């Protein structure tokens, strides 16, 4: 997984898995979902990320199984 924050456009890009994007779908007016040919989400783009997703802060926690 890769997470990028573009301060100049206040956009967060979350790549869940590498792959070929077959389609970009609008989740709502400020969120886009990139999906592969099987409909699996490859990436999420969040516009106005500082208001919607607490950007640029990110907390990552790995929980033991």
What's the pLDDT tens digit per position in 2-57?
999 999 999 999 999 998 999 999 999 999 999 999 999 999 999 999 888 777 77
pLDDT (0 to 100) of residue 17? 93
pTM: 0.84
Compute the distance between CA of residue 52 and CA of residue 44 in angstroms, rounded to an integer: 13
Whether 11 is in a domain gets the answer: yes
pLDDT for the residue 36: 96
- Domain hosting 42: range is 2-51
Domain count within the chain: 1
- Cα–Cα distance measured from residue 46 to residue 7, given in angstroms and rounded to the nearest whole number: 12
Domain assignment of residue 18, yes or no: yes
A 10 A CB-CB count for 24 gives: 12
């Amino acid at each position: 997984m890769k997470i990028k924050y573009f301060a100049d456009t206040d956009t967060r890009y979350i790549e869940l898995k590498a792959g070929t994007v077959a389609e970009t779908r609008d989740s709502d007016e400020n969120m886009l979902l990139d999906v592969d040919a099987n409909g699996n989400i490859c990436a999420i783009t969040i516009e106005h990320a500082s208001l919607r997703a607490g950007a640029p802060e990110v907390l990552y926690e790995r929980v033991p199984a």
